[in-house]
Amino acid sequence: MVQRSSSVKDTAQRAEHAVRQAAANPWVERLARFGYAAKGVVYIVVGVLAAMTALGFGGQTTNSRGALRTILTQPFGKVLLGLVAVGLIGYALWRFVQAGLDPERKRDDGDLKRIGLRIAYAISGVVYVGLAFTAIQLVRGAERGRGGGGNASQDWTARILSQPFGRWLIGIVGLIIIGVGIFQIYKGYTAKFREKLKLNEMSSTEQTWATRSGKFGFPARGVVFGVIGIFLVQAALKYDPSKAQGLEGALDALGQQPFGWIILAVVALGLAAYGVFMLVQARYRHIVTS
């Protein structure tokens, strides 16, 4: 029994070593950087469209999938969207590497924090795999002619609410998302995001604008996360999946508040600024793959 246990352990260690060697391939870092750029493009499109709506220049509030459809309608849209799809796959791959291998681990991080981060990275990877799949389907024409695609947030909320303890689970997820939103605001306020940038390779002007985009972008993203989380908590409390909303619904809700057009414009421009910061990360982020 002891010998079998030792054999299993050795096999697992060899497998992990092989995976780490694969992750150390230079192409993993290149795909990760391409992924940050693709993510940035999506956020910029979402932010610009929402800002145009708030300021009366047309546009529309939309989510990430709506942004992909907008890219498709541009000149050379299929080529552009195909590149974005590759980037999103690269970003998802990077998130899975972070979740599985924890290559950027820090000595001062506690075990609980590191476990939480790895779970968050894995969830993010799954989300971006889904977004990449949507982009590929759009390029292939498989989703052409569809509308907004319905409200996916309400669909999965309804499925979870129908399960035992589903109400509690939705409520907990909503509170977690609110917590993430608060952390995003804190991250922007303290400019902790600068720690992951290669500041020594940036000019003073680049550092200034990178900091500004982050300090504006992270809080805006935090506000949106907070609104989405509040909607989920309401869905749990009222046992009503129609209360759940995603990014598009959160932006619409902000626009419906008193002086909503101002709130929506500020948050939308903040999301675009977050997208710009993702482009900065594509070039200057510290990326450790092994």
pLDDT tens per residue, range 110-167: 677 778 888 889 999 999 999 999 999 999 886 654 444 446 778 888 889 888 888 9
**Cβ atoms of 123 and 57 closer than 8 Å:** no
Does a structural domain hold residue 238?
Answer: yes
Percent of the chain surpassing pLDDT 70: 86
Does a structural domain hold residue 123?
Answer: yes
Fill in the DSSP letter of residue 285: B
CB-based burial, 177-189: b 16+ in 10 Å, e otherwise:
bbebbeebbebbe
- Virtual torsion, Cα 218, 222, 224, 225, nearest 10 deg: 130
Closest CA to 83 of 44, 128, 121, 139: 139
Domain that holds residue 240: 27-284
- What is the DSSP code string of 84-115? HHHHHHHHHHHHHHHHHH-TT--TTS-HHHHH
Does a structural domain hold residue 10?
Answer: no
Q: What is the mean pLDDT of residues 58-84?
A: 91
Does a structural domain hold residue 19?
Answer: no
Structure tokens at 26: 């230079």
Does a structural domain hold residue 9?
Answer: no
Question: Is the pTM for the entire model greater than 0.75?
Answer: yes
The predicted structure's pLDDT at residue 189: 95
Closest CA to 172 of 81, 237, 102, 118: 237
Name the domain count of the chain.
Answer: 1
| pLDDT tens digits, 75-124 | 989 999 999 999 999 999 999 998 888 776 655 566 777 788 888 899 99
Does a structural domain hold residue 35?
Answer: yes
| pLDDT tens digits, 22-36 | 666 778 899 999 999
The predicted structure's pLDDT at residue 92: 95
CA–CA separation, 28 vs 264, rounded Å?
A: 37
What value, to the nearest 5°, has the Cα angle with vertex 270 and ends 96 and 118? 20
Does a structural domain hold residue 87?
Answer: yes
Does a structural domain hold residue 14?
Answer: no
